[in-house]
Amino acid sequence: MQVKVTFRNTDPNDDVKNRAEEKADKIKKLMQSPIQVSFVFSKDKLNHFSELTVTGDGAHLSSSVKSTDYFSAIDESIDKMMTQLRKHKDKMKIKKGGKKVTEV
């Protein structure tokens, strides 16, 4: 898994970079093939923005979040991405097997 962290219009911050790489490990659990995770952090006067893009396993998914600080933006974007990845995983199950597996 490759994790790329980019800062736009702001100074690089090692704490934010480490937190992003740490949270990206959650994504690895849902994806099977080699994947690329890209974080882009930017800032305006009041808000902090986090853009997360995941490529791999037949998917190209992205999420964007506006928040008051980078740490909460990372958490929110990871939560959004996990939801999208679960939906993608369910779609792949349907395509492969022809019908969805129901839980007992």
Residue ranges covered by each domain of the chain? 2-97
Taking only the tens place, the pLDDT of each residue in 73-94 is 999 999 999 999 888 888 877 6
Taking only the tens place, the pLDDT of each residue in 46-75 is 899 999 999 987 789 999 999 999 999 999
* Domain 2-97 grouped into CATH 2.40.170.20: no
pLDDT at 63: 94
CA–CA gap between residue 22 and residue 68 (Å, rounded):
20
CB 39 within 8 A of CB 7: no
pLDDT at 35: 86
Alpha helices in 1-104 (DSSP H): 14-30, 70-97
**Residue labelled with tokens 């597996």:** 101
